[in-house]
Amino acid sequence: MGGAIGGEDACTEVFGLGENSVGQVIGRSSMERFNEPTLIVQLSGKNIKGLAANRESSCAWDSTGKIYEWGIK
């Protein structure tokens, strides 16, 4: 299962939730499951324009075109 979002606006806070066994939710690996939205602090203040995610990885891009990836790359 996967998904993507993007649009004209940018956000300065990104949240993740779900299984995090390979760091796909918050950017660091743990066996912890996040049942509530959890702030991804590494993306705070980055002017995020879009996000995409699948079962084992996530990525975001900012208003300058820089790409951030976490989970299995």
Q: Is a pLDDT exceeding 60 seen at residue 2?
A: no
End-to-end Cα spacing for the chain: 16
Q: The dihedral of CA 10, 14, 16, 20: what is its sign?
A: positive
Of 42, 73, 39, the C-alpha closest to 58 is 73
Domain regions of the chain by residue span? 8-33+41-50
Q: Is a pLDDT exceeding 50 seen at residue 1?
A: no
Convert the pLDDT of each residue in 13-29 to its tens digit: 888 888 887 777 776 66
* Percentage helix, strand, coil for the chain under 3-state DSSP, each rounded to 5: 5, 50, 45
The pTM assigned to this predicted structure is 0.76
